[in-house]
Amino acid sequence: MSIIRLAIAATAVTALAACSGAGSLNPQSLTQSGQLASQALMLSDSDVRTLSNKSCTQMDSENKIAPASSQYTQRLNKISKQLGDNINGVAVNYKVYMTKDVNAWAMANGCVRVYSGLMDLMNDDEVRGVVGHEMGHVALGHTKKAMQVAYATSAARSMAGASTGVIASLSGSQLGDLTEKFVNAQFSQSQESAADDYSFDMQKKKGYSPAGLVTAFQKLASIDGGRSSMLDSHPSSPARAKHIQDRIASGK
């Protein structure tokens, strides 16, 4: 679960300022930052899905994927049937990465990846809540914005423009840099809250209890620092757990 703290233009300006080490921006830097922001905003839904396909393929090649016979895969298959097989009409592809890290994420192309460390920590209801949250980021357009920011601030920014042809020509290092920035991106608190509500509403609509979201957040809040890469992205887990508890209590 990842979070955008700044608008794309502001992110591009900050990145350029950090690279130059200057205390203020000169007109040339401002022009460059504007070009980066414009370039990122040029990414269409199709561009974002193409980048997501490439990023997901790269991540899959770098991680050990649980086999079909694995208890992790069997658990996720059960959970995926409860969550559904598409996000806004885009087919979802679920897989488990065998790693002790506690994390999960989703991309605009329907790529959903859950880490075995998270599944070890949580029961099926909790995993369903967390994965539903990640799917919410896709459904609500947050992941598209995250990919735009990653594109604007990664090595891919050196490309001349955003088009399927240009994206297809990304080098391995450029793609790797973009993928890392996307997977580790951060969403705003309002985006996180919206994704929480998306997961809550989706589970209620499908006839499942959203209570797993509450205990999932409580478990994330109690993890010893360093074990979970999700902690930096979710600094207010207790408050978010209370929000879900309040919605359950109110029946809304």
Q: Which of the residues 62, 126, 134, 192 is marked catalytic?
A: 134
What b-and-e string marks burial along 165-186, b requiring 16 or more CB atoms within 10 Å of the CB? Answer: eebeebeeebbbbbbebbbbbb
Residue 149, phi then psi, degrees to nearest 5: -65, -45
CB 96 within 8 A of CB 70: yes
Residue 160, phi then psi, degrees to nearest 5: -70, -25
Measured over the CA atoms of residue 152, residue 157, residue 161 and residue 166, the dihedral's sign is negative
Answer yes or no: 134 catalytic.
yes
Please give the helix or strand (H or E) that residue 225 lies within, else none: none
Q: How far apart, in Å, do the first and last CA atoms of the chain sit? A: 24
Sequence-distant (6+) residues with CB within 8 A of 55 are: 107, 111, 175, 178, 179, 182, 183
Q: What amino acid positions are annotated as catalytic residues?
A: 134
